[in-house]
Structure formats: structure tokens, C-alpha cells
Amino acid sequence: MDILRRNTDYALRVMAHLTINYNVKSVSTRNIANAENIPYPISCKILQILHKAKLVNSSMGPRGGFALARAPAQITLLQIIEAIQGRLTLNCCLVNDDACPRQVNCAVNKKLINLQQQIEQYLDEITLKELLKDGS
């Protein structure tokens, strides 16, 4: 099972593309879809979700499109992932305190909680700026 879903991968690519074009007023959905090899209808849906999460801004009209809502240094991978697929959880026992009656005495749960926290912290420390610092 993949931890990151396909749409989340697409969203990360969309946001990377918008980061590369950060100084451009807006980028069309079609341009993003073509450049990132994402089906156009899926790109539209992803951008709507990212807009609702206040990670991108949209502008209408013939020169309309999308742009990052904040500077690349202010948007983290965790924010993008959670906007698309919700909170990442390694196991159902980590969803909430009532998910498993064995949580209090479970050695596995204690280790998974630690790993869960490390994953969340790691993804929250990687900004779009950091992500593309070495790549593009």
C-alpha cells in the first residue's frame, strides 16, 4: 500500500511547478497538466482542493490560472499532503485515543506513535523552497 496516494503525488508536482514559476502572475491549469504529465481533469480537481486549502490563489480570464498563495518557504509538504488526502496515519490505532482498546499497554503502539511523530515533523520541515533548492 502506498502511503502517498497518486493524487497527492500529482499535487506535489503541481505545487513544485508553481514554485518554479513563482515569479509569474499565474499559470494555467493546462500548462501545469502538460508540463507535469498529469491528466487535465485531475489537475483541475487538485487545484480546486489546493485553492480551498488556501495553498494556491486563482485568477479568472484569458490570462488566468493559479499561483502559490504564500511564498515557497511558507508552504510545507505536510500541508500539501494533508490538503489532498487528510492526515497521514501509519496504523488505525493512531487515528484517535479510542481507536484501539489495547493502546495503553501496547508496545507496538508506542513505537508507531514515535514513528508517526517523526514522519509528521520531517514533512512539516520540508518547504517547497527547500524541496526545489537542489533540484531545479
Q: 58-102, pLDDT tens digit by residue?
A: 998 878 899 999 999 999 999 999 999 998 877 766 666 666 677
What tens digit of pLDDT does each residue of 2-19 get? 688 999 999 999 999 999
CB atoms within 10 A of CB 89: 16
Question: Considering the domain boundaries, does residue 82 fall inside one?
Answer: yes
When divided into structural domains, the chain yields a total of 1
Prediction pTM value: 0.87
Q: Which residues does residue 67 pair with via DSSP β-bridges, in sequence order?
A: 57
Question: Considering the domain boundaries, does residue 94 fall inside one?
Answer: no
Question: Considering the domain boundaries, does residue 104 fall inside one?
Answer: no
Question: Considering the domain boundaries, does residue 112 fall inside one?
Answer: no
For the chain, where are the E strands, in sequence order?
56-59, 65-68
Question: Considering the domain boundaries, does residue 76 fall inside one?
Answer: yes
Identify the domain containing residue 18 by its residue range: 6-87+127-133
- What's residue 114's pLDDT? 85
Separation between Cα atoms, residue 1 and residue 88, nearest integer Å: 13
79 Cβ neighbours under 8 A, 6+ residues apart: 53, 55, 124
